[in-house]
Amino acid sequence: MRDLSRDNRYLSINTATFGGQWDLTRIVDGLGRHGIPGISPWRDQVQALGLRESVRLVKDHGLVVTGLCRGGMFTALDRAGLAKALDDNRRAVDEAAALGARCLVLVVGGLIPHSRDVIAARALVREGIAALLPHARAAGVPLAIEPLHPMYAADRACINTLAQANDICDELGEGMGVAIDVYHTWWDPALAAEIARAGKGGRILAFHISDWLVPTTDLLYDRGMMGDGVIDLPGLRSLVEENGFDGFCEVEIFSRDNWWKRPPDEILATVSERFRTVC
């Protein structure tokens, strides 16, 4: 397993970690001050600055774009709705290509509106990804399915285990991969086997880290800083690295009542320290 204790060379920050306190320009400047070489921006921040200026900013600062957040949300109400979602996803692919992102992260969407049929939702997700894949292949942008914790199955992602994501990758083939977020997957009894399965296909495109607090007070906005919760972060990192992942550890923390209220420079300093001592 890689030694992370000396520097930040394998550290990336997902820009959601700041809770909207900084725009993309200030985030990039902050990463430079703290010696953090990786970034995973959200599309709304890229669009607010403009794609061309965002590309220039990232390249001028020598940052590695570990992923673009996010594509997906395929579970539209009808055929017209799916077509609209695909149009937006193709734009996301183009943005990821321009930024040189290592992948486009897919949060696939929950139940079809006014439906209780999770099987139909998953079928529509598979259809949407299959329709998007030729455009992504042509652009050279891998698609990374991010399975979300089952508590999000209804509203955010009906793909909830790494096994489900691997099944879609098996079916669709080239250009497909997974984003493994410890917050969403740490509990899964099949996780080790499914990480090995993803690794055999070279499919581990992203590794997201945070922590699971006990108690968790909000289903979306109460993720913990690494070391403040119960996830075995070194153990999970060892698993992905033993199975071929040699990329960045991407910190993604949604924390409305804690970290999002703290100065962003404090967040970055704490992330750097915990990355080296906890992860």
Q: What is the CATH number of the domain that holds 120?
A: 3.20.20.150
In a domain, 6, yes or no: no
| 101, pLDDT greater than 90 | yes
Q: Count up the domains in the chain and report the number.
A: 1
In a domain, 184, yes or no: yes
Question: What pLDDT shows up at residue 236?
Answer: 98
| pLDDT tens figures, 42-72 | 999 999 999 999 999 999 999 999 999 999 9
In a domain, 186, yes or no: yes
Report if pTM > 0.75.
Answer: yes
| Structure-token pair, residue 137 | 């292949």
140/151 Cα distance (integer angstroms): 33
In a domain, 5, yes or no: no
122/150 Cα distance (integer angstroms): 13
| pLDDT tens figures, 230-262 | 999 999 999 999 999 999 999 999 999 999 999
Question: What pLDDT shows up at residue 92?
Answer: 98
Q: Give every CB contact of residue 258 below 8 A, 6+ residues apart in sequence.
A: 222
Q: Is 271:225 a contact under the CB 8 Å cutoff?
A: yes
**101-119 mean pLDDT:** 97
- Domain hosting 225: range is 11-277
| 76, pLDDT greater than 90 | no
In a domain, 4, yes or no: no
| Sign of CA pseudo-dihedral 148, 151, 154, 158 | positive
How would DSSP label each residue in 111-123?
A: SPTT---HHHHHH
| 80, pLDDT greater than 90 | no
Specify the pairing of strand 223-224 against strand 64-65.
Answer: unpaired
Question: What pLDDT shows up at residue 38?
Answer: 98
In a domain, 226, yes or no: yes
174/140 Cα distance (integer angstroms): 11
126 pLDDT band (50/70/90 cuts)? very high
77 pLDDT band (50/70/90 cuts)? confident
Cα separations (Å) of 78 from 84, 134, 221, 276?
A: 10, 22, 30, 47
In a domain, 1, yes or no: no
168/166 Cα distance (integer angstroms): 5
Question: What pLDDT shows up at residue 265?
Answer: 98
In a domain, 146, yes or no: yes
Question: What pLDDT shows up at residue 224?
Answer: 98
Q: Give every CB contact of residue 79 below 8 A, 6+ residues apart in sequence.
A: none
123 pLDDT band (50/70/90 cuts)? very high
10 pLDDT band (50/70/90 cuts)? very high
| pLDDT tens figures, 212-227 | 999 999 999 999 999 9
The answer for 78, left when phi > 0, alpha when psi is -120 to 50, beta otherwise, is: beta
